[in-house]
Amino acid sequence: MAADRIEALIARMTLEEKAGQLGVFADMVRPFAPDVNPDANVRNAGQVLEQVRAGRVGTLFNGVGAAAGREIQRVAVEESRLGIPVLLAADVIHGMRTVFPIPLGEAASFEPALAERSARATAIEATAAGLHWTFAPAVDIARDQRWGRGAESSGEDVTLGCAFAAARVRGFQGDDLRAHDALLATPKHFAAYGAVAAGLEYAQVDLSPQTLHDVHLAPFRAALAAGARTLMTAFNDINGVPASANRWLLTDLLRGQWAFDGVVVSDYTADMELIAHGYAADERDATAKAFLAGLDLSMQSGFYGAHLPGLVESGQVPMAVLDASVRRLLRLKEAIGLFDDPYRSLDPAREADTAHLPAHDALARDAARRSIVLLKNEGALLPLRRGGQKIALIGPFAQDRDNLEGCWTLFGDKTRYVTLEAGVRAALEAAALLEVVPGCALEAPLDGGIEAAVAAARRADVAVLALGEPQRYSGEAQSRLEIVLPAAQQALAEAVAATGAPLVVLLRNGRALALHGAVRDAAAIAVTWYLGTQTGHAVADVLFGAYSPSARLPVSFPQHSGQQPFFYNRPRSGRPELPGMAEFKSRWREISDAPLYPFGHGLGYARFAYAAPRLNTPQLAWDGTLVVTTRVANTGAVAGEEVVQLYVHDRVASRVRPVRELKAFAKIALAPGEARDVVFHIDRGHLAFSGADGAYRAEPGVFDLWVAPSSATGEPVDFELLPA
């Protein structure tokens, strides 16, 4: 039935209606999201509705609201010639009305199941607010922290990135795409956007086919395997061919090798940008190149509606190719039940009932506190006491409400945001125990700010510095030359540290930072990312010990910005720096190339001890399974959670292999004194890589294996993978 209905529709559609269906435009009919995109081809509400009435729009994006969405759909279904429903999409990246931690922060939890739950909650709120489709998750692998969009990613590691990509797709889409709270997911940005040169936004991407496949394409495969039905193409080129017109990527690989039959949508005006790239001569050329490469939908440029009919009439674009794209889009609308129920997800009553669910606040608080990484805690300064300890909360983020949601938060209910001060106050036994002093602005000194902060620190038993990046420092088009704190904040930290008050630093950040001076030397440092609606309560839960921090770094914190791009799983050098051997070794003149805090690092209030991993066999048969058992004990005085991480290193291979690669992880909770065997199963699939010849397979030989609390700790055991 569904297929027949679609074929019958296609048979009735004019060339203009087919081209129109492939257009994605900003939804100017509903309250539009703030300035998240550059102005291009801007239309007003009346023009958009006129296009819908003329059957020239397949999808609108970044508007919100069930009632107004219902009116758009009514025009599409009742006033257009064929009554094809419109898809309503938006950038709902890490929360809708309830805002969850930025994806990088949530990845620090090392709990994909948590990300699945927050994506599900987001889907419930988004579909209630008149949306069918989100342009998320971003699954880019970010190895250069100067790039601003690592904030939307799951960090530098492929295994972690794949796990979170799949979890978020499952969470957004749920079990039944036709359910009214199923939100179509879109893994983006296809592909290798995170590999822009020097972390410079929109710069070139030049990388080996092996790195492209093993690092940057892997999370897309994981997301498609989890059920994603759409992909969004990237702005960047890949080795000189723009991703949005890259036939090898969009057709040979995606349709051919991966057999993907879903819809490929461009990023915002990415087809128009083929001209600026110098890859297309003009609009018509850009349209032909993008469409014939395999780009189904064009976002915002208007090129497909303007030029596809002429390209088909001239024979440059075969009608069958046009029909194939239209068919994929109509099947997508069919798959979410739009033809049977065009007003699905457009119920104002449900929107009102869903706008603020206490369960989502509780989940947001739990997700936030599980995302906080405790880097350092000298002298067990943390947790602080709720009573009997005077606290000076100092810094521009102490009372800030405008920088706690993080980038790409378009629809957050700001009235519900819990500031750091509010969370700390709520946790303290008496108001008099807390003094709050901004000390400086986000990026500039305040008159008398440092003096007031120093005085407060002197009056306090402990100074808590709330420092970090303004949230506009991360996200799209926010590449930074140096990944450091603003100078005014560094000056504030130096002055407060000089008082000698015990110092806790709370960082708010959308990327790894290079920490210097008094910030780096503080007794305790916690990475709090942008935690969303429940920021204050989540930080207070960790600060006062209601929750023992359990997150681990999804990105390495370097010693210095100059080390970027920095990632832990880099290929081995022929001259690695060795203890006591620095001459003519792979290091900087000024420092070694070690991180300040490595990928996978994080502390809690418990203490954990690892026994040596035990292997079921020292030799893994080609088709066998290595069973790795490691006893982990909580040797501390409080309960806590540990992220047990399994790394391997291939000692000799046809290509130089990374010094370590995360292959599995498990987060376990242990009571004081409790111990547990953590068991991992490894087979040759975990050891596969793209060899010098490009073939993806494991190679027999000896491997080192660690089961450890981070990418820089633990003692290896070894095993041999036997040949077939």
Residues carrying an active site annotation: 267
Q: Do β-strands 595-597 and 557-558 pair in parallel, antiparallel, or remain unpaired?
A: antiparallel
**Please, which residue, 62 or 711, has the CB nearer to ligand GLC?**
62
Smallest CA-to-CA distance from 168 within 234, 233, 100 is with 100
CB of 336 to ligand GLC, least distance (A): 19
DSSP reduced 3-state for 99: strand
Element (H, E) at 650: strand 640-650
Element (H, E) at 458: helix 449-459
CB of 698 to ligand GLC, least distance (A): 35
Q: Which two tokens stand for residue 454?
A: 């120093």
**Please, which residue, 21 or 37, has the CB nearer to ligand GLC?**
37
**Please, which residue, 236 or 569, has the CB nearer to ligand GLC?**
236
By CB under 6 A, tell whether 188 contacts ligand GLC.
yes
CB of 185 to ligand GLC, least distance (A): 12
Distance (Å, rounded) from C-alpha 235 to C-alpha 269? 9
CB of 96 to ligand GLC, least distance (A): 15
Exposed / middle / buried, residue 45 (Cβ in 10 Å: 0-12, 13-18, 19+): middle
Distance (Å, rounded) from C-alpha 371 to C-alpha 103? 10
Query: Cβ(130)–Cβ(74) under 8 Å?
Result: no
CB of 235 to ligand GLC, least distance (A): 7
Among 100, 135, 544, 608, which residue interacts with ligand GLC (rule: CB under 6 A)? 135
Full DSSP string of 212-233: IIIIIIHHHHHHHHTT--EEEE
Q: Which residues of 399-432 are buried (b: 16+ CB within 10 A; e: fewer)?
A: bbbebbbbbbbbbbbeebbbbbbbbbbebbeeee
**Please, which residue, 187 or 613, has the CB nearer to ligand GLC?**
187
CB of 272 to ligand GLC, least distance (A): 12
CB of 298 to ligand GLC, least distance (A): 13
Distance (Å, rounded) from C-alpha 59 to C-alpha 85? 9
**Cβ atoms within 10 Å of 720's Cβ, excluding its own:** 14
Q: What Rg do the C-alpha atoms of the chain give, in angstroms?
A: 26
Among 10, 15, 16, 36, which residue interacts with ligand GLC (rule: CB under 6 A)? 36
CB of 219 to ligand GLC, least distance (A): 15
CB of 40 to ligand GLC, least distance (A): 10
Among 157, 214, 267, 435, which residue interacts with ligand GLC (rule: CB under 6 A)? 267
Show Cβ contacts of residue 150 under 8 Å, excluding neighbours closer than 6 positions. Answer: 104, 140, 142, 144, 194, 474, 510, 511, 512, 555
By CB under 6 A, tell whether 268 contacts ligand GLC.
yes
Full DSSP string of 20-42: HHTEEEE--SSPPPSS-S---S-
By CB under 6 A, tell whether 409 contacts ligand GLC.
no
CB of 231 to ligand GLC, least distance (A): 12
Q: Give the number of residues in contact with ligand GLC, rule: CB under 6 A.
A: 8
Helix, strand and coil percent figures for the chain, each rounded to 5: 35, 20, 45
Largest CA distance in the chain: 81
**Please, which residue, 405 or 476, has the CB nearer to ligand GLC?**
476
Show Cβ contacts of residue 269 under 8 Å, excluding neighbours closer than 6 positions. Answer: 38, 40, 41, 299, 300, 301
**Please, which residue, 115 or 721, has the CB nearer to ligand GLC?**
115
Site for ligand GLC in 52-91 (CB under 6 A): 91
Show Cβ contacts of residue 508 under 8 Å, excluding neighbours closer than 6 positions. Answer: 397, 403, 404, 466, 467, 468, 469, 471, 528, 529, 530
By CB under 6 A, tell whether 140 contacts ligand GLC.
no
**Please, which residue, 478 or 690, has the CB nearer to ligand GLC?**
478
Distance (Å, rounded) from C-alpha 102 to C-alpha 119? 12
By CB under 6 A, tell whether 181 contacts ligand GLC.
no
**Please, which residue, 298 or 711, has the CB nearer to ligand GLC?**
298
Site string for ligand GLC, 91-120 (x = CB under 6 A): x-----------------------------
By CB under 6 A, tell whether 220 contacts ligand GLC.
no
Element (H, E) at 631: strand 626-634
By CB under 6 A, tell whether 37 contacts ligand GLC.
yes
What are the angstrom distances between the C-alpha of 719 and each of 413, 649, 722?
53, 10, 9
Smallest CA-to-CA distance from 6 within 18, 24, 20, 23 is with 18
CB of 133 to ligand GLC, least distance (A): 11
**Please, which residue, 154 or 550, has the CB nearer to ligand GLC?**
154
**Please, which residue, 214 or 267, has the CB nearer to ligand GLC?**
267
Distance (Å, rounded) from C-alpha 78 to C-alpha 689? 53
Residue with tokens 């359990």: 550
**Please, which residue, 471 or 528, has the CB nearer to ligand GLC?**
471
Among 17, 116, 476, 650, which residue interacts with ligand GLC (rule: CB under 6 A)? 476
Q: Which two tokens stand for residue 76?
A: 């599409």
Footprint of ligand GLC on this chain (CB under 6 A)?
36-37, 91, 135, 188, 267-268, 476
